Structures are given as structure tokens and as C-alpha cells.
């Protein structure tokens, strides 16, 4: 927990944040939910909306986790957990899967992040620390390929440092690729002018948000 602010407001829980993002995914969208926190968004997609989930390992129309005992080790998500396929779903090879991203066919990619910069630069694959083994997976592909790249993350690190930054200090995943950021404090668009506040949690003013973030955030 951060100790940088007096709490006149409540941060969103992970599930509340996931529900907030799910609310913004429109009917008919093709969406990739990155491994880690973005996976939670699937649990909050409105049942009446038809949204097609893509998994980088070759699934379109990914469904929820199977009931215990029904797991199929040939049917897993990018996080390598067992999933199901919905009616109308399909399987394909890795080259075709990444063509869906790179080719701009995917509407929304939701990714976790270490840092997002005001110009849309994203850092989410490597801390750059000596001794850490780098692993990139599909992060760089997902960052630049989709029509919209959304970031879902906690606003602060465990040490209380803002993950919304003027410029990324961690190695970049993609350049000027993020279009919107959802944190447990606020929703912000990335515009040519930098962060633009869409909404903040109740009780949090834009001045306070800027203070704790350490970057300029324009009011909508």
C-alpha cells in the first residue's frame, strides 16, 4: 500500500477495475486480454454483449475455465491455464494468430504494465535488472498491433512509486502505442498532449491525482 496520500478516496479493487474496463468493451469487439491482471476482465464482460476473446496461442472465441475435471491440456490460454472454446470459436497456428494483431484486425488489446509514459510508450516486459532473465512473449506484438492498446495496472508500485511517468525508465515494449490507461485511481487517455483524465475514483481531485502521479494530467 502506498503511503503517499491521505485517503479521502477509495482505490478500486482488482475486480472493480476489471469490471470498469469490461464496461468499455463494445458489442462485437475482438479482444486480447494479456496475461496477469487483464485476464480478470473476462469475468466481468456483460453476458448480453457478444465479445470475441483472442488468445495468442491460437484461439478465437475463448471461453471461461472448464469445470473441474474437464480440463484439456491441449486447450489453454496464454497464461497456460485451461480454458474452453465457445460455439463459433476457431483454432489456428501462431503465424496466423499474430497476423490478427499485427494486421490490425484485433480491436482492443488489454495489457499489464510496469510503466506508461505521457507519449504512450509502454514498458511491461523486462525490469532491465542484471540477473533478471528477460522474457517477452507476445507483449511487443500485442502492444503495437491492435487498433487500441489499453493498459490495466495499479497506479503505484509496491514501493508507492507512480507507474504513470513522464518517460519510461524500464526497457520499452512499444513506442507511442498505448491509447488508454486504466488504474485503480483513474482512467486516462493518451493524447498528443499527454495524459487526459477521463474519470477518477470518487473523492480524488485532478490536482491530487497529478500530485501523486508526478506528471501533468489534463482535465477533459
Among all residues, which ones are annotated catalytic?
Answer: 56
Rounded to a whole number of angstroms, the minimum distance from the CB of residue 79 to another protein is 9
Strands 108-111 and 115-117: unpaired
Taking CB under 8 A as the criterion, the residue among 141, 151, 184, 217 binding another protein is 141
Residues 6+ apart with CB under 8 A from 155: 11, 162, 163, 164, 183, 184, 185, 186, 212, 213
- Binding to another protein (CB under 8 A) within 154-183 occurs at 171-175
- Binding to another protein (CB under 8 A) within 13-52 occurs at none
> Torsion angle, CA of 53/57/63/66, rounded to 10 degrees?
-160
Which one, 40 or 172, has the nearer CB to another protein? 172
* Contact flag: residue 139 with another protein (CB under 8 A): yes
3-state secondary structure 130-184: CCCCCCCCCHHHHHHHCCEEEEECCCECCCCCECEECCCCCCCCECCCCCEEECC
- Binding to another protein (CB under 8 A) within 67-126 occurs at 72-76, 80, 85, 91-95, 97-98, 101-102, 126
* Contact flag: residue 59 with another protein (CB under 8 A): yes
Catalog residues that contact another protein under the rule CB under 8 A.
Answer: 55-59, 72-76, 80, 85, 91-95, 97-98, 101-102, 126, 131, 133-141, 144-145, 171-175
Amino acid at each position: 500500500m502506498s503511503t503517499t496520500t491521505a485517503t479521502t478516496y477509495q482505490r478500486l479493487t482488482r475486480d472493480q477495475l476489471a469490471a470498469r474496463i469490461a464496461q468499455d468493451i463494445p458489442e462485437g469487439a475482438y479482444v486480447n486480454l494479456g496475461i496477469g491482471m487483464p485476464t480478470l476482465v473476462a469475468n466481468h464482460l456483460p453476458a448480453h454483449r457478444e465479445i470475441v476473446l483472442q488468445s495468442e496461442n491460437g484461439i478465437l472465441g475463448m471461453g471461461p475455465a472448464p469445470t473441474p475435471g474437464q480440463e484439456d491440456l491441449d486447450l489453454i490460454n496464454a497464461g497456460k491455464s485451461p480454458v474452453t472454446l465457445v460455439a463459433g470459436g476457431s483454432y489456428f497456428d501462431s503465424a496466423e494468430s499474430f497476423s490478427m494483431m499485427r494486421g490490425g484486425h484485433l480491436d482492443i488489446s488489454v495489457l499489464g504494465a510496469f510503466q506508461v509514459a505521457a507519449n504512450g510508450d509502454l514498458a511491461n516486459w523486462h525490469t532491465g535488472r542484471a540477473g533478471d532473465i528477460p522474457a517477452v512473449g507476445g507483449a511487443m506484438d500485442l502492444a503495437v498491433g491492435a487498433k487500441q492498446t489499453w493498459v490495466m495496472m495499479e497506479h503505484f508500485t509496491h514501493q508507492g512509486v507512480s507507474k504513470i511517468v513522464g518517460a519510461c525508465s524500464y526497457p520499452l515494449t512499444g513506442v507511442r502505442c498505448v491509447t488508454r490507461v486504466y488504474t485503480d485511481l483513474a482512467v486516462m487517455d493518451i493524447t498528443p498532449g499527454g495524459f487526459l483524465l477521463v474519470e477518477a475514483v470518487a473523492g480524488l481531485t485532478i490536482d491530487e491525482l497529478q500530485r501523486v502521479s508526478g506528471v501533468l494530467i489534463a482535465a477533459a
